[in-house]
Homo-oligomer: A and B are copies of this chain.
Amino acid sequence: MSAGLWLIGLGPGNLDHMSKKAIDVARACSERFLEGYTAILPPYQEDRLEDFVGKWERIMRPLVEDPEKLLKLAKEEPVALLIVGDPMQATTHVDLEARCDELDIDFNIIPGITATALAVSLSGLQSYRFGRQVTIPYSYGDYLPSSPLEMIYRNYDNNLHTLVLLDLDPTGMGVEKPTPMSPHDAFTILQKMEKKMVEGGKKISQPVKNLDGVLLTDISLDSQKIIAGNLSEISEYNDGWIHCLIIPSKMNQNEIDAFERRKIV
Is there contact, CB below 8 Å, between A91 and B130? no
Q: How far is the CA of A88 from the CA of B113 in the complex (A)?
A: 13
| Chain A residues numbered 227-263 whose CB sits less than 8 Å from any CB in chain B | 254, 257-258, 261
Interface centre among A12, A121, A124, A257 (most CB of B within 10 A): A121
User: Cβ of A160 < 8 Å from any Cβ of B?
Assistant: yes
Q: How far is the CA of A88 from the CA of B119 in the complex (A)?
A: 10
Question: If A16-B21, A113-B113, A118-B86 touch, does A135 touch B128 (CB 8 Å cutoff)?
Answer: yes
Q: How far is the CA of A135 from the CA of B128 in the complex (A)?
A: 9
User: Cβ of A63 < 8 Å from any Cβ of B?
Assistant: no
Q: Please tell me how many copies of the chain the complex holds.
A: 2
The one of B11, B111, B122 in contact with A121, judged by C-beta atoms closer than 8 angstroms, is: B111
Is there contact, CB below 8 Å, between A220 and B121? no
Shortest beta-carbon distance from A219 to chain B in Å? 9
A125: nearest chain-B partner, CB-CB: B94
Q: How far is the CA of A93 from the CA of B134 in the complex (A)?
A: 27
Size band of the interface chain A makes with B: 35 or more
Residue numbers in B under 8 Å from A135 (CB-CB): 128
Q: How far is the CA of A14 from the CA of B109 in the complex (A)?
A: 14
Stretch at the interface among A69-77, A95-103, A173-181, A208-216: A95-103
| Chain A residues numbered 126-164 whose CB sits less than 8 Å from any CB in chain B | 126-135, 160
Residue numbers in B under 8 Å from A17 (CB-CB): 19, 21, 111
5 closest A-B pairs (Cβ-Cβ)? A88-B121, A16-B21, A117-B117, A17-B19, A86-B121
Known A87-B121, A97-B124, A111-B118; further 5 A-B contacts with Cβ < 8 A: A20-B20, A94-B254, A97-B261, A117-B117, A132-B160
